[in-house]
Amino acid sequence: MGPQQLTGWHKSSHSHFEENACVEIGTAPGIVGVRDTKQAALAARPVLVYSEIAFGAFLAYVTGGR
């Protein structure tokens, strides 16, 4: 499964448009994708793809395990 199957893209609530730092998250069974919101007009923009487990560990780390 790759980035083409990711759906439900939504902008992070922690994105800051003024600082030019916006990201979107999309999901598919077992994976999470992250892409740069600013590149929306590009047809083949890069997407980072993580397993749900790896992305969950990342979120736990950046939120202090909350």
Predicted TM-score (pTM) of the model is: 0.74
36 lies in which domain range? Answer: 3-62
Cα pseudo-dihedral 53, 14, 17, 40, rounded to 10: 30
User: Each residue of 2-27: pLDDT tens digit?
Assistant: 666 788 888 877 666 666 668 889 99
42 vs 37 pLDDT, higher one = 37
Domain count for the chain? 1
